[in-house]
Amino acid sequence: MRQSPSPGIVVLISGSGTNLQALIDAVANGDIHGEIRGVISNRPEVAGLERARRAGIPARVINHQDFSDRDTFDQALMAAIDQHQPDLVVLAGFMRVLTPAFVGHHEGRLINIHPSLLPDFRGLHTHERALEAGVQLHGCSIHFVNTELDGGPVILQASVPVLPDDTPQTLAARVQQQEHRAYPRVIQWFCQGRLTLRNGQVWLDEKPLQAPLQFSDPITLADSAC
Ligand code: GRF
């Protein structure tokens, strides 16, 4: 019997690529049953590109500064992604706002990780803003992307405590540890065909999510055994 091919993934990055590394490692360990077919960065010479190349994954730069506007950049990005014919496009620290045309083209197969407990602190500088606001819990959210910035339906969140002597850097490091555990889990659900977006709602295992899953929920903990 022919085995069905692994779902194809393209990862978009802009920087150090620690989340990309977590995905590369999870594929190598068999925790993600998918194939990272390509990595694309909008910034040249970032560390994430080297991580991809070290793993033997085709990596290329599409520099947004080479384009006169957002639409033409997004068209070029779309064409580069389509060459890999991916089932899923993963934003892993990709720091560009995407046009509705791009989002529409990848609807239901475009996932982002954001470093806050959405809907709190959409946008940039989330760790600074969490400290300024004096929240006791902070974290990350993994969500399907829609046309609203950081506003797409949330799949999974992981929380961390905010400690009295935290700086933006210490808090970011604590959140990132959770990102690296949570993101591969969600990508595996997608690759297993368990996770879908239907009419703007997240479905997992043929049930609509009534609220974002939390990383400590039984379903996510149960999965960590496999
Ligand atoms: C992560 O904190 C992610 O949540 C945010 O950008 C950061 C990317 O870090 N969107 P890295 O490039 O994966 O190390």
**Cβ–Cβ < 8 Å for 117, 141:** yes
- What is the residue with the minimal CA distance to atom 7 of ligand 1? 93
Q: What size, in residues, is the chain?
A: 226
Does 141 map to a domain?
Answer: yes
Q: Quick check: is 60 in a domain?
A: yes
Q: How far is the CA of 12 from the centre of ligand 1 (A)?
A: 11
Tell me the residue range of the domain where 122 lies: 8-221
In a domain, 100, yes or no: yes
Average pLDDT, the chain: 95
- 3 inside domain: no
Q: What is the pLDDT of residues 23-38, one digit of tens each?
A: 999 999 999 999 999 9
What span, in angstroms and rounded, lies between the C-alpha atoms of 211 and 157?
10
Residue 226 pLDDT > 50: no
Mean of the pLDDT values across residues 59-65? 98
Among candidate residues 64, 105, 106, 114, the one labeled active-site is: 114
Q: Using an 8 Å Cβ cutoff, are 102 and 67 in contact?
A: no
CA of 180 to the centre of ligand 1 (A): 10
pLDDT in tens, 153-196: 999 999 999 999 999 999 999 999 999 999 999 999 999 999 99
- In this structure, what CATH number is given to the domain that contains residue 151? 3.40.50.170
Q: How confident is the model at residue 39 (pLDDT cuts 50, 70, 90)?
A: very high
Domain count, the chain: 1
125 catalytically annotated: no
Query: With bands split at pLDDT 50, 70 and 90, how would you rate the model's confidence at 220?
Result: confident
Does some domain include residue 226? no
**pLDDT of amino acid 93:** 98
Any domain includes 2: no
Evaluate whether residue 51 is within a structural domain. Answer: yes
- What lines the ligand 1 site, CB under 6 Å? 13, 15-20, 48, 92-93, 113-115, 140, 176, 179
Task: Please give the Cα distance from 16 to 74 (Å, whole number).
Answer: 22
Is the model's pLDDT at 224 over the cut of 60? no
Distance between CA atoms of residues 186 and 32, nearest Å: 9
Strands (E), the chain: 8-13, 35-41, 59-61, 88-91, 110-114, 137-144, 154-161, 195-198, 201-204, 207-208, 213-214
pTM: 0.96
pLDDT at 149 over 80: yes
Q: Nearest CA to 74 among 115, 104, 35?
A: 104
